[in-house]
Amino acid sequence: MTADLFESVVDVLPSREAMAEGAVLLRGFARRVEAGLLAALRGIESQAPFRRMFTPGGHQMSVAMTNCGEAGWVTDRSGYRYDAADPESGRAWPAMPAAFCELAESAAREAGFAGFSPDACLINRYEPGARMSLHQDRDEKDFSAPIVSVSLGLPAIFLFGGAKRSDKPQRYRLEHGDVVVWGGPSRLFFHGVAPLAEGEHPALGPKRINLTFRKAR
């Protein structure tokens, strides 16, 4: 094996990093299927375009969002919730592509959560300066299922805290293809994303896409 070939193989092999009890960072786990993910993403966006939603307090989010699956996460003046229909079109959210389901299930299994079957995928688009403040994912009905979060495009600083908002978060630099899975004791840990830095990704340009898989119902 030549040095160049060895380096290319090593570059795509995923590695596992423990973050907390029940929380695992799978480095490069999604890179092997990135072509299928990006193709599926384009199809979803054509049916349910990204939009910047408003919080119940009237603040417009810096992150643009869309959804796929049986339910989609939405926010407006009436609150945070899951809805089977896209409020902008009145139609059902796009079906979750097989490539999405397979990745989410395999990542969850690798992290120790066999049997995970997501029914919702929140898709966040970050552009330079966009951020996500520390929060808990608690709009789902059953907290026994994990969260599976896939990073594509520009690198981002992921903030992973504890059970209390005041717990100091750890900082993880997430690269294209990294997958974070958390559940069990860390399912309701606070987490967020620091403001996205300027950059240009070969496949996605000046942005980051985050696929977040949940069992919402």
**Residue 27 Cα distances to 16, 24, 70, 166, angstroms:** 6, 9, 28, 27
Answer whether residue 186 shows pLDDT above 60: yes
Determine, yes or no, domain membership for 9. Answer: no
Could you report the per-residue pLDDT of 79-135, keeping only the tens digit for each?
999 999 999 999 999 999 999 999 999 999 999 999 999 999 999 999 999 999 999
- Amino acid 36 reads G
Determine, yes or no, domain membership for 6. Answer: no
With cut-offs at 50, 70 and 90, classify the pLDDT of residue 2: very low
Determine, yes or no, domain membership for 5. Answer: no
Dist CA 177 CA 152 (whole Å): 6
Query: What's the CATH number where 70 sits?
Result: 2.60.120.590
Determine, yes or no, domain membership for 8. Answer: no
pTM of the full predicted structure? 0.93
Tally of domains in the chain: 1
Determine, yes or no, domain membership for 4. Answer: no
Closest CA to 190 of 168, 207, 211, 175: 168
With cut-offs at 50, 70 and 90, classify the pLDDT of residue 14: confident
Answer whether residue 144 shows pLDDT above 80: yes
Determine, yes or no, domain membership for 39. Answer: yes
Determine, yes or no, domain membership for 2. Answer: no
Could you report the per-residue pLDDT of 27-76, keeping only the tens digit for each?
999 999 999 999 999 999 999 999 999 999 999 999 999 999 999 999 99
List the domain range (segments joined by +) for residue 36: 15-214
